[in-house]
Amino acid sequence: MRVPVVYSQVMVADSGHEVSPSASKPGLVAAALKAQEYAVDIVAPEPVSAEDFIRVHDPRFVKAVLEGREDNGFGNRSAEVAASLPYTTGSLLTACKIALGPSRPMVVASLSSGFHHARFAKAADFCTFNGLMVTAAYLLANSRVKRVAILDADYHYGDGTDEILDQTGLRANVFHLSFGQEFKRPDQADAFFARLEALEQDLRRFEPQVILYQAGADAHIDDPLGGFLTTEQMGARDEKIFSLGKQLGIPIVFNLAGGYQRDADGGISKVVRLHLNTFSAALRVHDTGA
Ligand SMILES: [Zn+2]
């Protein structure tokens, strides 16, 4: 199997933020995938439009952020960040269009970050617009699918996603599970894996036609903003999710979401490694029949 990976330089902007590497991370992950000869094909994202954002956000808020009159998720009004927003969300939507398109790949990646704290009318915690909900709403509005599942395994609770689901009335068509709402500590790892096991029944009942999977690297036990799973457990997490998709015949579109570990020299090689491990898990499941 080869994994289409939606990314281009236009998704990358200098956020001016020291904690979150999310603006520079996609380029580093893309470079590492290439350098380590992963079986991936890089595809450029199509941008989404203001109308696409407005489907799940307050129109006034969308306009103000895009025009630099209101703060983005990094707490500034950078024109560079504003210009990247149609492409970061666009990368997730483009990835879904590929997954639902004629070649039907079972796994597609979007090198985008978390999205999930972005609320109906407010940016928060590195998230400006909620690309998960923009994507789900687009697919539903354009009759590409009838049901979408969002499996959010970032360490943090996807509060913005829940708010938008309530605000837009899309809950009947979107299955949303944010593990970060419940699983926070290393002693909950067993309960987390039990929840993953139970997920199969949920998905069989809901019958989503595509799964959006936030494969957050901040779930790692060493992450300064998160942490309850070891590297090995994170591999088991990813493998379980990809196996479920394979078993149920549902394509999985995954993205990077959070990850904040720093190397001694300030680099993010540990975070990049964790993201590559997610690609490894997808390839392992589909190439070796795991
Ligand atoms: Zn997070």
- Residue-wise pLDDT for 248-257, tens only, equals 999 999 999 9
For ligand 1, the distance from its centroid to the CA atom of residue 179, given in whole angstroms, is 11
Mean pLDDT, to the nearest integer, of 103-128?
94
The single-letter DSSP state of residue 121 is: S
Confidence of residue 114 (pLDDT cuts 50, 70, 90): confident
Mean pLDDT, to the nearest integer, of 37-44?
98
Distance CA(139)–CA(144), nearest Å, equals: 5
For ligand 1, the distance from its centroid to the CA atom of residue 260, given in whole angstroms, is 9
Confidence of residue 209 (pLDDT cuts 50, 70, 90): very high
Specify the pLDDT at position 126. 87
For ligand 1, the distance from its centroid to the CA atom of residue 155, given in whole angstroms, is 5
Kindly tell me if the per-residue pLDDT of 70 is higher than 60.
Answer: yes
pLDDT digits (tens, 9 = 90+) for 153-192: 999 999 999 999 999 999 999 999 999 999 999 999 999 9
State the pTM of this model: 0.95
For ligand 1, the distance from its centroid to the CA atom of residue 129, given in whole angstroms, is 15
For ligand 1, the distance from its centroid to the CA atom of residue 257, given in whole angstroms, is 7
Kindly tell me if the per-residue pLDDT of 23 is higher than 60.
Answer: no
pLDDT digits (tens, 9 = 90+) for 84-105: 999 999 999 999 999 999 999 9
Give the start-to-end residue ranges of the domains of the chain.
Answer: 3-288
Superfamily of chain region 3-288: Histone deacetylase domain (3.40.800.20)
Q: Give percent above pLDDT 70 in the chain.
A: 96
Helix and strand tally (H, E) in the chain?
9, 7
Give the C-alpha distances (Å, rounded to integers) separating 152 from 62, 156, 157, 179. Answer: 24, 9, 8, 6
Specify the pLDDT at position 236. 98
Kindly tell me if the per-residue pLDDT of 17 is higher than 70.
Answer: no
The average confidence (pLDDT) of the chain is 94
For ligand 1, the distance from its centroid to the CA atom of residue 73, given in whole angstroms, is 13
Please name the residues in contact with 34: beta carbons below 8 A apart, sequence gap of 6 or more: 40, 42
Specify the pLDDT at position 288. 82
Cβ pair 31, 37 in contact under 8 A: no
